[in-house]
Amino acid sequence: MQTKTIPFACLLGAVAACGTTDAVVGNPSTGGTDGSQGSGGSAGAWGSPDALVLTLPDGPGASGQDKADAGLSSADGENCGISRNEMDRIPADLLVVQDRSGTMRHDEKWAQVTTAVNEVVSQTQSAIRWGLKLYAMPYPSDEDIRCFVPDEVTVPVDFDNAATISAALADNPPTSDASGSATPTRFAIEKALAYLQSVDDGSPKHILLATDGLPNCGNGIMSADDYDEDDEDGAIAAVAAANAAGVPVFVVGIDIGGGGDTLDDMAVAGGRPRDDSPRYYPASATTGLVEALQQVVGSIPTCTFALSERPPVPDNIAVDAQTAAGVTVRIPKDVTHTTGWDYTDATATGIQIYGTWCDEITNGNIKVVEAIFGCPDQVIP
């Protein structure tokens, strides 16, 4: 036997809508065929179910023609009333590009960074693939190279990376040594972009640049005593190039005493500035840095889901969420992107969930998100 789950709307006027010849209808909670609720159904569910199980005879039934012969409506040769589709969540990749220049030793800045990053990453590591790239780094030999940035990242992006990132920050604090003590922001962004472009995981990618000063190393990545050459234009251009390549850059300024205009320009060039002044995310003390990081994370689309196929009727689809308590609730469609769901683009192959619904997914209160594809001219109850 073949089993298909179809929207209840297709059965309200079975002969006219979807047909029921040679079909046995049962409660999806129990698989029963006698109309009883069973132990798995919720109170009142049998009176107004979201979908029912339709059991068809064995034999050929995979083709669109066979489905039509069985009495099912079709759109574009496909069965319109298909089963609930549990959607795959598309996580975001977020690479922290963290300045570890000599000035980060002052005023407890590094301790603030470590505490804030640890807190925010640990809160969101199941929803975001976090990674870390520190700059500048000591040159592998004993040469006094202050602007060196390696090709490799410090921690590759992945889920559940809080402990690894925390250890990397603890093991690589800024020091008073000259080697690796400058601020080669241009080279750090360029190499961060190259790394993310090499990560073929299908996830949207972002850079979070956290720095406490103006970019230098204008004389090149191998600068030593001449490291202090200004490189503001180079850094802004590198950020703009990353954004143009589809990797937007968030800019966080840590206890910025000067150079705010440059960070503003970088934030705008990165494509993710704040609406207010300053355009970069300002942070001072641990609480301010935590708030800045949370604002960045809150603006990243972490509630994007891929549909297994384009719905036969894109305007007739419902999105349901199953809570941790096992309760199914309907998420409303919201084209204003305030609180609800909408298609990610005109292809109707992805769904983005917004507002408090996304918050419930991120904090684990919603465990499963499903799409229900409806029949033409039928409302999904």
| Cβ 151 vs Cβ 194: under 8 Å | yes
| Cβ 95 vs Cβ 155: under 8 Å | no
What's the domain count of the chain? 3
Give the pLDDT confidence score for residue 340 in this predicted structure: 96
85 or 271: which carries more pLDDT confidence? Answer: 271
Q: Is the pLDDT of residue 62 over 60?
A: no
**Could you give the strand order of the β-sheet that contains 2-7, starting from the edge strand earlier in sequence?**
2-7, 51-56, 24-26
CA distance 255 to 268: 19
120 shares its domain with 207: yes
Q: Is the pLDDT of residue 14 over 50?
A: no
Instruction: Render pLDDT for 19-41 as a digit per residue (tens, 0 to 9).
Output: 333 333 333 333 333 333 333 33
CA distance 37 to 30: 7
Q: Indicate the angle between helix axes 162-171 and 109-124, nearest 10 degrees.
A: 170
The first and second tokens of residue 193, run together, are 């972009």
Peptide bond into 278 cis (omega under 30): yes
Give percent of the chain with pLDDT exceeding 70: 76
Distances (CA, A) of 308 to 66, 82, 83, 105, 251: 22, 12, 12, 50, 35
78 shares its domain with 203: no
DSSP of 49-114: -SEEEEEE-SSS-SSHHHHHHTT--EETTEESS---EEPEEEPEEEEEEEE--GGGGGGGHHHHHH
272 shares its domain with 141: yes
293 shares its domain with 308: no
Q: Hey, how many other C-beta atoms are within 10 angstroms of the C-beta on 185?
A: 32
* Boundary (domain end) residue, out of 33, 62, 82: 82
Residue type at 281 in one-letter notation: Y
CATH at residue 204: 3.40.50.410
CA distance 322 to 340: 15
Instruction: Render pLDDT for 154-198 as a digit per residue (tens, 0 to 9).
Output: 999 999 999 999 999 999 999 777 777 899 999 999 999 999 999
Q: Give the range of the structural domain holding residue 324, as residue numbers without chain letter.
A: 84-88+302-381
289 shares its domain with 213: yes
77 shares its domain with 140: no
| Cβ 64 vs Cβ 176: under 8 Å | no
223 shares its domain with 370: no
Instruction: Render pLDDT for 328-344 as a digit per residue (tens, 0 to 9).
Output: 999 999 999 999 999 98
Give the pLDDT confidence score for residue 142 in this predicted structure: 64
82 or 245: which carries more pLDDT confidence? Answer: 245
69 shares its domain with 149: no
| Cβ 370 vs Cβ 350: under 8 Å | no
What mean pLDDT comes out for the span 198-221? 92
The first and second tokens of residue 304, run together, are 């994007």
Q: Tell whether the torsion through CA atoms of 211, 196, 367 and 125 is positive or negative.
A: negative
289 shares its domain with 151: yes
Give the pLDDT confidence score for residue 213 in this predicted structure: 84
CA distance 123 to 91: 15
Closest CA to 128 of 87, 169, 98, 157: 157
Distances (CA, A) of 274 to 36, 139, 258, 302, 338: 56, 35, 19, 19, 18
Instruction: Render pLDDT for 257-293 as a digit per residue (tens, 0 to 9).
Output: 666 899 999 999 999 999 999 999 999 878 889 999 9
Tokens 């390549």 — which residue? Answer: 245
- Angle in degrees, CA 90, 91, 95, rounded to 5: 145
* Boundary (domain end) residue, out of 30, 62, 82: 82
Q: Which segment of 41-50, 142-151, 246-255 scores lowest on mean pLDDT?
A: 41-50
274 shares its domain with 200: yes
229 shares its domain with 307: no
Give the pLDDT confidence score for residue 82 in this predicted structure: 47
Closest CA to 208 of 181, 189, 184: 189
Instruction: Render pLDDT for 293-314 as a digit per residue (tens, 0 to 9).
Output: 999 988 887 788 988 888 888 9
* Boundary (domain end) residue, out of 240, 268, 298: 298
The full length of the chain comes to: 381
Q: How confident is the model at residue 80 (pLDDT cuts 50, 70, 90)?
A: low
153 shares its domain with 234: yes
